[in-house]
Amino acid sequence: MLLEVCVDSFESAQAAQRGGADRLELCGDLLVGGITPSPFLIEKVQNLDVPVNVLLRPRFGDFLYTESEKDILFKEVQMCRKMGVNGVVLGALDLNGHLDKPFLQDLIAEAGAMHKTLHRAFDVCVDAEEGLYDAMALGFDTILSSGQAPTALQGASMLALLHQKANDRITIMAGSGVKASNLSELMSMTGLTAFHMSAKCSVDSPMVFRRKEVPMGLPMAGEYERFYTDEAEVRKAKRILSKK
């Protein structure tokens, strides 16, 4: 059983490690679904004793990338390989919602021996079964998915089907809304052995002076609210997985 925790700060990475995470997915700006993190954050988190897979996504939004974005992504894969990270988390679609196979093939070739996860671009591709077989043919090791549903629990039947069709040729990892409280149900419904969670908790800023009437562009969160990984939630999830 594998527990991957998605983090976007060194503090969260430390909490996830202390809680027993088997692997980290490191990103920036988790509140918008995650984008490529700073190389300095990657370097700092690399100092922790836990494998780190780095999310590579140039911006918030869809997964149809411009040529300049593709160039950036390719160079970020090169950067991660040179930095010695455990793996990269990739994804790209064409305008009709199929995996962008020529581009992903280039990224995977450049990634070499690094672990390669297809991120949740998979969940908005036009055909899940086609996406599964394309991902296997491209050489991905893992697909992170909610079963093309808002949450993994809602997509459990699709996750179970993907797991069956994958037949141990690729790992299907459940993500989105995964919590310690629903892990046992997810395992029972899907048969999966890999799970991805953020275990976010809200922490009030230590700022004393606050100019609350001036927003900085995050309508889904206050300017004086921080989100970190909850060590206790990770530990609880790991304890559940360890019993299986």
The CA distance from 237 to 217, in Å, is 33
Q: Is the pLDDT of residue 243 over 90?
A: no
Q: Is the pLDDT of residue 72 over 70?
A: yes
241 with 183: CB under 8 angstroms?
yes
Mean pLDDT of the chain: 95
pLDDT band at 224 (very low <50, low <70, confident <90, very high): confident
The CA distance from 64 to 121, in Å, is 10
The CA distance from 118 to 88, in Å, is 9
Low-confidence winner among 49-58, 90-99, 172-181, 214-223 (lowest mean pLDDT): 214-223
Q: What value does the mean pLDDT take over residues 114-138?
A: 98
Q: Is the pLDDT of residue 98 over 90?
A: yes
Q: Is the pLDDT of residue 59 over 80?
A: yes
Other C-beta atoms lying within 10 Å of the C-beta of residue 107: 22
Q: Is the pLDDT of residue 222 over 70?
A: yes
User: Which domains are present in the chain?
Assistant: 2-242 (3.20.20.380)
Q: 181-221 pLDDT, tens per residue?
A: 999 999 999 999 999 999 999 899 898 998 888 877 666 66
Q: Is the pLDDT of residue 122 over 90?
A: yes
**Token reading at 114:** 């690094």
- What share of the chain in percent tops pLDDT 70? 98
Check residue 239 and give its pLDDT: 97
Q: 142-185 pLDDT, tens per residue?
A: 999 999 999 999 999 999 999 999 999 999 999 999 999 999 99
The CA distance from 28 to 47, in Å, is 18
Check residue 219 and give its pLDDT: 65
